[in-house]
Structure 1
Amino acid sequence: MTSTQNPTAAGSGASATEAFRASRPQAGAAEVSAERVSSVVAAVLDGVRAAIREHNVTYPEYQAAKQWLIEIGEGGEWPLFLDVFIEHVVEQNAAATQEGTKGSILGPYYLPDQQRLPAVTTLPMRPDEPGVPLVFAGQVRDTAGRPLAGAEVDIWQNDAAGYYSGFAPDIPAGNLRGVVVTDDQGRFEITTIQPVPYQIPTDGPTGKLIEAAGWHPWRPAHLHLLVRAPGHRQITTQLYFAGGEWLDSDVATATKPELVLDPVERDGRLRVDYDFVLEPA
């Protein structure tokens, strides 16, 4: 199933910006040296200037780009735009020096401080939540194979219409979100529904860019996860589904073969097992 209708870009953008500000570490920029700022910003500007020269950008095109940048800011869409088109490259840089389970992008729809749940649990959902039932189970271990008791599996996903709670009207707060705490063997079993592909919001400036470029706005179905345990590096990742639409042409360029699940049907429900490996911090 795919989602053909989405909440407004303005509403989603404002929610994503607010969530980012609430969860962002406060130190950040103060820890970056002037030399580092200079070298990275100079390289970005050099790249922009080179593109302008290579493609002979005109004044009307420049003015249109300036207006688009203003609209991105006014609409609160910077988290959406950056997470869709830029974050995957930053994640690839981070992955080059990391062990354990493969990572992927965080995306703009994370909300911190969700309900803590036991190792065997059902994600918070509406009594009549539509969708295909899915049991997602596994174990969290360290790189030596030892189970990590009390690890946190912070999970969130969209509903059967492609919407995320906190970013769309009429969905209860915390719907299909939770922090699952593993048992003494590092195991967990989560009952939820299978997520669906969805369009990123297309009625704002990000959507205008996508339309003008002739691109598609679709992301494949996925589960979002942050997996953490004391003394270990947190994993940020997404898990996808074999045979799913847009798996090979994700607008966010975030899919990886190691992150594709292949559920099997059991007693009218889909079930899949996937283990996480955390490296020492």
Structure 2
Amino acid sequence: MSTDTATAAASGASATERFHSDKSPFAAVADTSPERVDRLARKVIEALQQTVREEKVSYDEYNALKAWLINVGHDGEWPLFLDVWLEHVVEEVATEHREGSKGTIEGPYYVPGAPELGSVGTIEMREGEAGTPLVWTGAVTSVDGSPLAGALVELWHADADGFYSQFAPGIPEWNLRGNFRTDDQGRFEIHTIQPAPYQIPTDGSCGKLIAAAGWHAWRPAHLHVKVSAPGHELLTAQLYFPGDAHNDDDIASAVKPELLLDPKPQDDGSVTVDYGFVLDPER
């Protein structure tokens, strides 16, 4: 089976299955008080009710909403929907106290446990992988400037067709996924390819919403990273490339100026970037 047969429903089902297997969402909020649950639930419900009142929502529109919500679940697209349209606000609130590097959303396609490739290494890719070769150097430090040796840099990104391994058929398991450890000076060097912009899946329920609202489905080209070190807060980010047509209107609203790279074209046709991370100590 080739990547050409990938569908939103298949990607959505994979994302939902992965979320259930990798996350323990209820364990993290097991001690949440009934008062907190009541407050949050009421605010969400009241916001929906206010929209109905203000916009004079008809029964036809209400029933269309019900059908669409049911289809989002049927397609397995709740992770996609929430990560595209809500996560960027959750991330903003969760990290507003930080003094170090800016982060952004994780998205639905993270997979833990990628192969470890040292402080200098080449991410796993297919022979003849499409895309411009990219050499990324950087350092991981604490907010006081001290280098963080042995920090973990987890990298994953889409291929030149916009597909992620383990979420589309026909792609090797760890393609364009790898973990790197900083050296004694906190530095790393990663060899990969420059990803391309892509559209989020549009053949499922999220695509129907996008079409009905007259929106576009494009995400700018980006590298996903998670950066961690003992005694420091985990940083999740995406790094973007200047000049991308959708940096200013990303469907996921995840682009920040601090996350833009500064690529340098090389004579051999490759591109180099130098970009590091500053981690906040755990509070």
TM bucket by the smaller chain? over 0.9
Alignment of 1:116-265 (within 5 A): 116-265=116-265
Shift of 1:31: 2.4
User: Would you say 1:31 and 2:31 are equivalent positions?
Assistant: yes
Aligned residue for 1:279? 280
Specify the code of the residue in structure 1 equivalent to 2:166: G
CA distance in 2, matches of 1:57, 1:203: 26
Specify the code of the residue in structure 2 equivalent to 1:52: V
Aligned residue for 2:51? 51
- Superposed CA deviations along residues 93-147 of structure 1, whole A, max 9, x for unmatched, are 1121122110100001111111111110000001111110001110000011111
Alignment check: 8 A CA contact 1:7 1:201 kept: no
Is the partner of 2:170 in helix, strand or coil? coil
Is the partner of 1:31 in helix, strand or coil? coil
Shift of 1:250: 0.1
Alignment check: 8 A CA contact 1:151 1:181 kept: yes
Which range is displaced more, 22-31 or 261-270?
22-31
TM-score by length of 2: 0.96
Residue identity over aligned pairs, in percent, reads 57
Shift of 1:66: 0.5
Alignment check: 8 A CA contact 2:142 2:148 kept: yes
CA distance in 2, matches of 1:6, 1:46: 41
Specify the code of the residue in structure 2 equivalent to 1:255: V
Is the partner of 1:236 in helix, strand or coil? strand
Alignment check: 8 A CA contact 1:6 1:162 kept: no
**4+ aligned runs moved over 4 Å, structure 1:** none
Q: Across the two proteins, how many residue pairs are aligned to each other?
A: 277
CA distance in 2, matches of 1:216, 1:32: 38
Alignment check: 8 A CA contact 2:226 2:235 kept: yes
CA distance in 2, matches of 1:99, 1:40: 28
Is the partner of 1:72 in helix, strand or coil? helix
CA distance in 2, matches of 1:19, 1:278: 27
Calculate the aligned-residue CA RMSD, in Å.
Answer: 1.1
CA distance in 2, matches of 1:153, 1:261: 17
Shift of 1:262: 1.6
Aligned residue for 1:9? 8
CA distance in 1, matches of 2:225, 2:127: 24
Is the partner of 1:114 in helix, strand or coil? coil
Alignment check: 8 A CA contact 1:139 1:187 kept: yes
Specify the code of the residue in structure 1 equivalent to 2:277: F
Alignment check: 8 A CA contact 2:134 2:192 kept: yes
Which range is displaced more, 26-35 or 146-155?
26-35
CA distance in 2, matches of 1:99, 1:234: 13
- Superposed CA deviations along residues 188-233 of structure 1, whole A, max 9, x for unmatched, are 0000000111100000011000100000000000000000001100
CA distance in 2, matches of 1:170, 1:17: 19
Shift of 1:6: 7.9
Alignment check: 8 A CA contact 2:104 2:255 kept: yes
Unaligned segments of structure 1, at least 5 residues = none
Alignment check: 8 A CA contact 1:223 1:240 kept: yes
Specify the code of the residue in structure 2 equivalent to 1:262: D
Shift of 1:265: 1.1
Is the partner of 1:190 in helix, strand or coil? strand
- Superposed CA deviations along residues 175-196 of structure 1, whole A, max 9, x for unmatched, are 0001111111111000000011
Shift of 1:157: 0.4
Aligned residue for 1:102? 102
Specify the code of the residue in structure 2 equivalent to 1:12: S
Shift of 1:258: 0.4
Alignment check: 8 A CA contact 2:5 2:169 kept: no
Unaligned segments of structure 2, at least 5 residues = none
